[in-house]
Structure 1
């Protein structure tokens, strides 16, 4: 075995304790799962962990100073801090509507940064 990791599966409420093995050939095996989703989760976590990024972005001339945002699909976990650094530099102009794409294809991941609420313009 090259690598062994233990984790709790988050794909359903059961919370199976998984043991995930990566061998020299890159083959991943998972034990401790009660369903196939656990196998898929363990494999993904071992090879290329992914997360949905949720944060906020500054809004100019808005009723609120920030708008909550998220990625529209999971992105590589290893890029989260780079994404956060980039989003700290972004300012959007009010009004912002829920669902607006504020950043397209962030860091070449194919994921967009989408507003998760509406921020109206100051009156």
Structure 2
């Protein structure tokens, strides 16, 4: 079986590093790629298969919401687990993301435990928890 693959998308390098380190410590066999914005993530998603996307909301060039909307329009990515990692937790933004098809949210700032809980939930729902 191939490794479980995660795409981490955030314009802040320290957040990408924080997320990647947390995932690698808990899931040592995981494959992680990262992108600095939605446009770069879109290019990676076009070329490679991923099992989960962890994505910031506010980024230059293409926002997390725009990336999510694009993913849901692609047949191959319609059901891809997509977790929004954001400080935008107000009701209006949550509703907007739910309507676009987000799988879950992680609010910034977050702890490793909060992040891992959401990732494990997504992996369980996708039948991938035993693979990591």
TM normalised by structure 1 equals 0.23
Structure number with greater CO (CA < 8 Å, separation at least 6) is 2
Looking at CA atoms only, which structure, 1 or 2, has the larger radius of gyration? 1
Relative to total residues, which structure has the larger helix share, 1 or 2?
2
Relative to total residues, which structure has the larger strand share, 1 or 2?
1
